[in-house]
Amino acid sequence: MFAMTGAGLYAAIVGAVSSLAMGLDASGRLYKQKLDELHEYMRWKDLAPPTRRKILKYYDLKYRGKYFEEATLLNEMNDSLKMEIAIHNCRDLISKVSFLRRQESDGRDELFVGKVASEFLPCYFVAGDIIFTQGQVGMEMYSLFPEQLTSWHKENMCNT
């Protein structure tokens, strides 16, 4: 009887600790599940190794080891919170782009930054991706922060 109680108590403690440990890094666990799913998909499609590496780099760049359904999370928030998060995420970018800076000191600067930041959509590219081609009509504006960006112009390649 005493052994049964001890075993039951041990199982309850181990279960509680493992449950707590899994809950501490839920986004990391979701990221690992997403990568497992991705590996299975790439095997099923029999993708070439260079393509597999490129896909894994993309996921690493986009999620940085944590997986969140950010759009779902933000859709549950009010507009004020969404704008505050957008400002937090984009303030450095806006401060580096001169025509996006508004410094009138009339009390509307923060509102302007919030409106601009709310319109940005993240877009990720890895080495070898083509962002746009010469002659393509552009409807987007990109802010690029590469170590090295390779561009092609009239059959000649140049590094910028």
User: 99-128 pLDDT, tens per residue?
Assistant: 777 777 777 777 888 888 888 888 888 888
Residue 116, pLDDT score: 84
Q: What separation in angstroms does the CA of 130 have from each of 76, 124, 151, 152?
A: 34, 11, 9, 10
Residue 37, pLDDT score: 94
Residue 159, pLDDT score: 44
Arithmetic mean of pLDDT over the chain: 79
Q: b/e per residue, 26-65, with b = 16+ CB within 10 A?
A: eeeeebeeebeeeeeebeeeeeeeeeeeebeeebeeebee
Residue 98, pLDDT score: 78
Tokens (6 digits) for 18? 């493992």
Question: Cβ contacts of residue 44 below 8 Å, gap of 6+?
Answer: none
Q: At what angle do helices 109-119 and 79-96 cross, to 10 degrees?
A: 90
Which has more pLDDT, 11 or 51?
A: 51
pLDDT at 55 over 60: yes
pLDDT tens digits, 58-100: 998 888 888 888 888 889 999 989 989 998 888 888 888 877 7
The closest alpha carbon to 59, from 81, 39, 88, 43, belongs to 39
Cβ contact 146:118 at 8 Å: no
Distance separating alpha carbons of residues 130 and 37, to the nearest angstrom: 26
Distance separating alpha carbons of residues 131 and 151, to the nearest angstrom: 10
